[in-house]
Structure 1
Amino acid sequence: MKQYETVLSVNGQLVEPQSYKQSLRKAFTGLGVATSVLVLGAVAILFSNAELRSQVFFSAPVQAIFAAELDLVSTGLAAGGVEVNDGSNHADSTGSSSNGMMPVKFNSIDSSKPLTAGQRQITSYLAKRYSVSPEAVESIVRLAYKVGKEEKVEPTLILAIVGIESSYNPFAASPVGARGLMQIMPKIHKDKFEALSPGDWSPLNPEMNMRVGAKIIREYTRRTGSVNAGLRWYVGAAIHGNDGGYPGKVLALKSRIDSVHQQGQMVASRGNAEKVSAVTVAGTEG
């Protein structure tokens, strides 16, 4: 069978028609350009509008995605089978890791120095309030005073945030991916963890978690000008608006902890004064 080519006549000249594939290619090219323009426009808007950017990246759906990805990574099911070092490896030749999730330098608390009377009173109070063993609470109290001093954050503020966020459970986890004592979002604050221990960290490590939490609240307080406003940022209310009374809850607990600390110090001072008085009287009588 003889085949004929169909031609078009344009201004009296014969022109071969474009193939179907060429037409589709041009159409998709046009769509690609339009899509690129839209994407670039959206990116430009996000980068120019901090509030909108925060609403997008810190929204509940996005945080849920972060949480799901974190769970996949932590269970070794990350896409592609890539092994991610989250601090769960055992010690290598450099000794950078220790028992599971805790690098050596963040794996021990010096308990050789006795707690002050105020710290002992705080430990007793928090252990009863949250039904946690005094030994466990003592380690967290020691850690809060150590971290607070080094990160320039009030230890009792740290302890109050820990109480409200995790009730002194170092393995606490929220549905949106927050982890540990101070409920830190690992994906969002990965840079701070990396700064502490590059390539070898865990949000469930108590000291790492507390250090990052202290850095966050210090940064937010400095940025907003007050602890109250900083706490609103900490809980995400600066983005979503409703803080649920979070700053008031934290500050009320901090005030209570401060009061307990003062009571412990006063009792110790009174006891010391009585001992001195008794020794003086005994010396006089002798």
Structure 2
Amino acid sequence: MKQYETVLSVNGQQVPSQSFFKSFRNALTGLGVATSVFSAGAVAILLSNAELRSQVFFSAPVQAVFAAEIDLLSAGLAASGVQVVSTAAAAQTKQGSGSLVPVKFNALDTSKPLTAGQRQITSYLAKRYSVSPEAVESIVRLAYKVGKEEKVEPTLILAVVGIESSYNPFAASPVGARGLMQVMPKIHKDKFEALSPGDWSPLNPEMNMRVGAKIIREYTRRTGSVSAGLRWYVGAAIHGNDGGYPGKVLALKSRIDGAFQQGHMVASREKAEKVSVVATTGSES
């Protein structure tokens, strides 16, 4: 016997019964659940796979610009007057009238090899943040240069860079912070202008790091301690909640200092072993 769907008559017109709407609603609910499960699975995969996150959130053009600028810093091409020009660099920023990475702060002396401690720091940070050792080496060199000139511990600078941007010089926050040390260009425009009047960018690694170091030094002097200065750096002086920021930075600094010491200890042990071998060989002959 054929089964026919029950219908209701309203003002002489036949309309589907409640069963049809119930089935349709159940179908939509099932689709929503399936979508939620799929989305949760996708998020879980992204959270557990750093390489996949990098491929998803960092497009090829951004990676190309990043690679070009790091190569420029590493090789010191700016010293010979060579300037990298990209689509992003061609556009003038609201903060500064120059290119993305002004030539004035592109040169980096790579003639001197890293110390054993600096090499160990580079290795540690490259693994921790899944960034190429070549890129990290440029930032480590820069931190030691800027730290010496701005009178701020290089390992403190490197710790702030790690917490703020995870070693991404093009990092940006929703509130307007930019670059390696997530400096707010609207608030600290005077410091950028003092470095390079009319030709600056918060995305320039050295400019960003110099301004960040100046801010840390200034806040430390005002508050009387590095920890209190870091609270100001993260904005706790205004909104009161630092989210444990000083502790996170200082804990990372401690690990970076440990890597530095480990590098020098290994180098000293290897040197002592070589001297021992030479002395033994000499006595035998």
Q: Does 1:250 align with 2:249?
A: yes
- Structure 1 residues 71-86: aligned runs within 5 Å: 85-86=96-97
Deviation at 1:109? 1.1
Q: Is the 8 A contact 2:159 2:250 kept in 1?
A: yes
Aligned to 1:35: none
Aligned to 2:167: 168
> Aligned to 1:199, what secondary structure does the other structure show?
coil
Distance 1:131 1:86 in 2: 33
Q: Is the 8 A contact 2:96 2:201 kept in 1?
A: no
- Structure 1 residues 83-122: aligned runs within 5 Å: 85-88=96-99, 101-122=100-121
- Structure 1 residues 45-60: aligned runs within 5 Å: none
Deviation at 1:85? 4.6
Aligned to 1:225: 224
- Structure 1 residues 164-243: aligned runs within 5 Å: 164-243=163-242
Distance 2:134 2:92 in 1: 33
Deviation at 1:201? 0.2
Distance 2:123 2:143 in 1: 15
> Aligned to 1:115, what secondary structure does the other structure show?
coil
Q: Is the 8 A contact 2:92 2:98 kept in 1?
A: no
Counterparts in 2 of 1:114 and 1:76: CA distance versus 1, 3 Å? closer
Deviation at 1:108? 1.9
Distance 2:260 2:117 in 1: 4
Distance 2:92 2:108 in 1: 30
> Aligned to 2:238, what secondary structure does the other structure show?
helix
Q: Is the 8 A contact 2:155 2:257 kept in 1?
A: yes
TM-score of the aligned structures, taking structure 2 as reference length: 0.67
Distance 1:184 1:77 in 2: 15
Distance 1:130 1:114 in 2: 23
Deviation at 1:236? 0.3
Deviation at 1:239? 1.1
Deviation at 1:102? 2.3
Q: Is the 8 A contact 2:191 2:211 kept in 1?
A: yes
Distance 1:259 1:227 in 2: 19
Distance 2:125 2:268 in 1: 22
Distance 1:131 1:77 in 2: 29
Aligned to 2:79: none
Distance 1:76 1:269 in 2: 49
Q: Is the 8 A contact 2:93 2:201 kept in 1?
A: no
Deviations 1:126-171 (A, max 9, x none): 0000000000000000000000000000000000000000000000
> Aligned to 1:186, what secondary structure does the other structure show?
coil
Amino acid at match of 1:87: G
Deviations 1:51-110 (A, max 9, x none): xxxxxxxxxxxxxxxxxxxxxxx96697xxxxx75322xxxxxxxxxxxx2222201211
Distance 1:85 1:164 in 2: 26
Aligned to 1:71: none
Structure 1 residues not aligned, in runs of 5+ = 1-73, 79-83, 89-100
Structure 2 residues not aligned, in runs of 5+ = 1-89
Deviation at 1:194? 0.3
Counterparts in 2 of 1:76 and 1:258: CA distance versus 1, 3 Å? closer
Amino acid at match of 1:206: P
Distance 2:131 2:119 in 1: 15
Distance 2:91 2:96 in 1: 11
Amino acid at match of 1:146: K
Instruction: Tell me the matched-pair count.
Output: 196
Aligned to 2:271: 272
> Aligned to 2:187, what secondary structure does the other structure show?
coil
Counterparts in 2 of 1:212 and 1:240: CA distance versus 1, 3 Å? same
Amino acid at match of 1:259: G
Aligned to 2:63: none
Deviations 1:218-276 (A, max 9, x none): 00000000000000000001111110000000000000000010000000000000001
- Structure 1 residues 5-16: aligned runs within 5 Å: none
> Aligned to 1:171, what secondary structure does the other structure show?
coil
Deviations 1:182-216 (A, max 9, x none): 00000100000000000000000000000000000
Counterparts in 2 of 1:227 and 1:199: CA distance versus 1, 3 Å? same
